[in-house]
């Protein structure tokens, strides 16, 4: 969905000029489109409409309470990976019964809180975790719902830092070990087997790795049913990519059609709910980061545009060499110059874009596109920089979803020695 468009040379979010947002809330500032977030969520929900399913938004992609609340109002489930993310979902009005808890390192207190809240499922990533969960639930005289996150050993052909489905990664349980662990879980008094889970990586731009992974998971489902273990759901994880730079990732429709086709052929009418955990494909293109040009400087033949957003605001370029399109908020005609767009942080890796052709002057505003996922949620206070404001545009209205951090709040909890 196109949430951000030019009108008379001015970039708009829905019906609000981005320039007006900076007047009200300054820069750097994340801007999300309500219509974009909702359309992206609905696209997944509708694509799976022919089958019992639940879209569980991956909270790590964008954990702003207002964003979670909008999705909760649509009936979304949530994939969380920490006690903190669970608290955010609950505070945002999310339904605990639609929450799956993933992650390799769940602490006891996090397990306890999630059992108390009554979540849908723990995606268990090791034998040790399974045993701990059984013990924690036992102390509470409860049974914890579990799926084992299996590692199907498929190559998602994405950036190595965000590929999780290979047998060499820290994630999940090797699929060959799963039958033994399911058998172990079956006789545990305080866990209840409800499903199976996998997640092979992120920013995946082909449908085949998802189909390969699901096919292996369905083999496991068959094997388990022979052991008398009947599951209620299959969670196929997240990972559908977006077009940062002309990539052609599968649409939700194509992704769903491929998965549903396989499920229908293989399950022969057995009732199994499908869970999916998209993050990036829901929030990514529905958000951008607004920044102002502070200085233009030239060193040798190189032109630098020093802007007021930095790697602490948007870490993806520094961490993965990720590409984000950079667009002027006000289009200007005339010759462009090729710039390194960099932030003020004291690291050479603090760049937002290399070799961008722009026509800009000091004080101009730029929009770093496709920053709605893994933007604010990965931000930090490095260099004691206050984190950006977040605004959600809803038609012609702007809503401040998070105030810009106050510098004094950054060190308010620090204590000097007596």
Contacts to ligand LLP by CB under 6 A: 58, 61, 79, 102, 162, 199, 202-203, 237-240, 277-281, 316, 320, 373-374, 378
Dihedral sign, Cα of residue 81, residue 220, residue 242, residue 45: negative
Rg (alpha carbons) of the chain, rounded to whole number: 23
Work out how close the CB of 320 gets to ligand LLP at its nearest, in angstroms, rounded to a whole number: 6
Work out how close the CB of 71 gets to ligand LLP at its nearest, in angstroms, rounded to a whole number: 13
374 near 314, Cβ under 8 Å? no
Residue with tokens 């949530």: 78
Work out how close the CB of 58 gets to ligand LLP at its nearest, in angstroms, rounded to a whole number: 3
Characterize the bridge pairing of strands 10-13 and 16-17: antiparallel
Work out how close the CB of 101 gets to ligand LLP at its nearest, in angstroms, rounded to a whole number: 10
Residue 28: cis peptide before it, omega within 30 degrees of 0: yes
Say how far apart CA 288 and CA 231 lie, in whole Å. Answer: 40
**Nearest to ligand LLP of 272, 376 (CB atom):** 376
Say how far apart CA 100 and CA 335 lie, in whole Å. Answer: 52
- β-partners of residue 123 are 147
Work out how close the CB of 372 gets to ligand LLP at its nearest, in angstroms, rounded to a whole number: 11
Q: What is the dihedral of CA 213, 218, 219, 225, to 10 degrees?
A: 150
**Nearest to ligand LLP of 33, 102 (CB atom):** 102
Supply the residues annotated as catalytic: 346
- β-partners of residue 296 are 305
Encoded tokens for 209: 């790795």
3-state secondary structure of 17: strand
**Nearest to ligand LLP of 19, 205 (CB atom):** 205
């Amino acid at each position: 969905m196109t949430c951000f468009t030019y009108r008379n040379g001015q970039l708009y979010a829905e019906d609000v000029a981005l320039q007006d947002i900076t007047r009200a809330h300054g820069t750097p500032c994340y801007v999300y489109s309500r219509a974009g977030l909702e359309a992206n969520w609905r696209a997944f929900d509708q694509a799976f409409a022919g089958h019992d399913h639940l879209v569980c938004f991956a909270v790590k992609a964008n954990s702003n309470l207002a964003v979670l609340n909008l999705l909760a109002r649509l009936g979304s489930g949530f994939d969380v990976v920490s006690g903190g993310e669970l608290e955010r979902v609950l505070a945002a009005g999310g339904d605990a019964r639609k929450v799956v808890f993933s992650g390799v390192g769940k602490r006891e207190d996090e397990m306890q809180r999630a059992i108390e809240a009554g979540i849908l499922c723990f995606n268990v990533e090791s034998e040790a975790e399974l045993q701990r969960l059984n013990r924690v639930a036992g102390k509470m005289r409860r049974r914890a719902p579990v799926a084992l996150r299996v590692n199907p050993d498929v190559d998602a052909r994405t950036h190595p830092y965000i590929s999780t489905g290979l047998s060499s990664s820290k994630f999940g349980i090797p699929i060959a070990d799963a039958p033994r662990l399911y058998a172990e879980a079956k006789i545990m008094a305080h866990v209840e087997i409800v499903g199976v889970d996998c997640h092979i990586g992120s920013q995946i731009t082909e449908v085949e790795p998802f189909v390969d992974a699901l096919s292996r998971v369905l083999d496991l489902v068959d094997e388990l049913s022979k052991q008398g273990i009947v599951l209620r759901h299959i969670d196929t994880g997240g990972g559908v990519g977006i077009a940062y730079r002309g990539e052609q990732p599968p649409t939700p429709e194509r992704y769903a059609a491929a998965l549903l086709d396989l499920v229908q052929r293989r399950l022969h009418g057995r009732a199994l709910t499908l869970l999916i955990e998209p993050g990036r494909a829901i929030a990514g293109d529905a958000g951008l980061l607004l920044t102002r040009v502070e200085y233009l400087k030239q060193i040798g033949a190189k032109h630098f545009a020093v802007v007021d957003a930095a790697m602490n605001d948007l870490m993806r370029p520094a961490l993965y060499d990720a590409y984000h399109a950079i667009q002027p908020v006000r289009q200007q005609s005339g010759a462009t110059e090729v710039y390194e767009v960099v932030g003020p942080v004291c690291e050479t890796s603090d760049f937002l874009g290399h070799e961008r052709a722009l026509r800009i002057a000091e004080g101009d505003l730029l929009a770093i596109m496709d920053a709605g996922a893994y933007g604010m949620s990965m931000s930090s206070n490095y260099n004691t920089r206050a984190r950006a404001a977040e605004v959600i545009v809803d038609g012609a209205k702007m809503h401040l979803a998070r105030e810009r951090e106050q510098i004094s709040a950054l060190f308010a909890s620090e204590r000097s020695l007596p």
